Amino acid sequence: MSYDFDLFVIGGGSGGIATARRAAEYGAKVGLAEFDRLGGTCVNRGCIPKKLMVYTSHFPSVLEESQGYGWSPVKSTLDWPKMVAAVNGEVDRLNGIYQRMLDKSNVQVYRTYGKLLDPHTVEVGDTKVTADKILIAVGGYPVKPDIPGKEHLVISDAMFDLSEQPKRVVIWGGGYIGVEFACIMHGLGSDVIQIIRRDKILKGFDEDIRSTIQESMEKHGIRILKNCTISGVEKTSQGLKISLEGDSNNDMVLADTIGLAATGRIPNLENLGLENTGVELQNGAIAVDKYSQTAEPNIYAVGDCTDRINLTPVAINEGRAFADTEFGGKSRLMSHENVPSAVFSNPEAATVGLTEAEAKKEYGEDAIKVYRSKFRPMYYVLPNKDEKTLMKLIVHQESDRVLGAHMVGDHAAEIIQGVAIAVKMGAKKSDFDATVGIHPSSAEEFVTMR
């Protein structure tokens, strides 16, 4: 049968675009549907604008710390509209780059929704197209819990378009999005209260990472209300009245016009037409095999809509592995083991491999040896600030293999990215020990721990 396209991609985020371009490189005729801005969550409402705001939030402490090195005090204020315009300007620039890349790859872009009508037919706006293979890469979106007054809460997307800086911010959620925005807004000068359902932030991360970041956040002045949740929100003349339930000693807290709900994301599957195909769902996400293939043989899915590891580089790698296999004659799998990740909090954290708890559960407590180091980096000595860096290695004693590496501290993501290569290759603790450290640096601690 003749089709309009060899591959049609529904979703123009990082995973969808990477797949479309890779398949086109192999000579496939590719179409792509995206109703919103190109680049998806990461470029438009996530990684990129958020990291730029992280950088912005660090300057007050840098100016203060410079005095320890002999610089005179600097009085500086944040021009909020200028920052927002600069961040959004960079997002606009990246959108243009994505469009040019797709044009150069001869990918036909439909700036509208894509809906499956059957396993080989996609409705795009007022027309229908057919494709031999279809890739779903529609990502996910943040959701707000169903409580009274939820309309007064915003999702993380809105944080990049605030016209003015809120003085009092309440953030609901202890995951990495909530933690990152709590640190960003505090660094920018807002009073921040973070409300978490448990006694610690960052569920799923290594316990030392969770404790170290939480202690530092509280020391810096972020108020974390533990073991409680929001039961309702009311807009008053004094701001948002946010009612709490749980262990908190406060029956309610006040925010300005901003209460951020960072309580989770779900796959963006509404009106996708999955019911017109044999695609199956599992726990609200598209079920796929190790090749990203759904129960409908010619339909594949990558990225957050499959709810495997919801990270941009993972979606890109999953998509490229699919394109290499199906169009390039290079069968390969995307490995979901030892995928590094970071939390751009203050202090920053990064991790790869198993946590201490995961390693002990898998191999037994006696089979695991933990190497841990906590110290004040040289940078903070002259400013006389009590900032700590944590580094940790999880080692399987019998094989000497490093099962996990974790860090909290300045440039953690940059450092762990290199360490992740070693962990991915199956490096042993003796390999770390045999590596000469770069002195003086914090990173050398990973090869000197005993």
Catalytic residue positions, numbered = 439
Q: DSSP letter string over 109-153? A: EE-S-EEEEETTEEEETTEEEEEEEEEE---EEE-----TTGGG-
CA 390, distance to chain mean position in Å, is 21
The DSSP element (H or E) to which 396 belongs, if any, is strand 389-396
Positive or negative torsion for Cα 354, 358, 363, 369: positive
Report the run of H or E that residue 403 belongs to, with start and end.
strand 402-408
> Do 160 and 137 contact (CB within 8 A), yes or no?
no
Q: What is the largest CA-CA distance in the chain?
A: 75
Angle at 216 between CA 203 and CA 349, to 5 degrees: 55
Query: What are residue 197's DSSP bridge partners?
Result: none
As a whole number of angstroms, the distance between CA 196 and CA 201 comes to: 7
Q: Which amino acid is at 442?
A: S
What would the DSSP string read from start to end of 314-344? HHHHHHHHHHHHHHSS-------SS--EEE-
Give the β-pairing of 389-396 and 368-375: antiparallel
Q: Coil, strand, or helix at residue 408?
A: strand
User: From the centroid of its chain, how far is CA 122?
Assistant: 30
- Residues contacting 12, CB < 8 A, separation 6+: 32, 33, 34, 36, 38, 39, 40, 98, 109
Give the Cα separation of 271 and 262 in Å (integer): 24
User: What DSSP element (H or E) covers 81?
Assistant: helix 80-104
> How many whole angstroms separate alpha carbon 300 and alpha carbon 430?
42
Q: How far apart are CA 90 and CA 105, in angstroms?
A: 23
Please state, as a whole number, how many other Cβ atoms lie within 10 Å of the Cβ of residue 400: 15
The alpha carbon of 371 is separated from its chain's Cα centroid by a whole number of angstroms, namely 27
